[in-house]
Amino acid sequence: MVALVERMLELNKRRGVAPPSRRQGQQDAGATELDREIAATDGEIDDLVYELYGITDEERKVIGAA
């Protein structure tokens, strides 16, 4: 978990402060790839947290809809 959080912090440093939706102009291929890496790492963290708390698939759907 710690390694994933550290990776997320590093990826966000590389991306910069503004989220992708607030960047001006079109994203280059590097930014798009970086955003995919961030999303994948975020998903891995979510999976670990859900597992840690024993969240069921049905509960995950409810959380995702919130």
Residue-wise pLDDT tens digits, 15-46: 885 555 555 555 567 779 999 999 999 999 99
Sorted by sequence, the CB contacts under 8 Å of residue 38 that are 6+ apart come out as: 8, 11, 12, 15
In the prediction, which pLDDT does 38 show?
A: 95
Place of tokens 């989220």: 19
pLDDT mean across residues, the chain: 85
Tell me the C-alpha to C-alpha distance, in Å, between residue 16 and each of 6, 12, 31, 34: 15, 6, 10, 11
Contact 1, 38 (CB under 8 A): no
Confidence of residue 62 (pLDDT cuts 50, 70, 90): very high
- The domain segmentation of the chain, as residue ranges, is 2-15+27-65
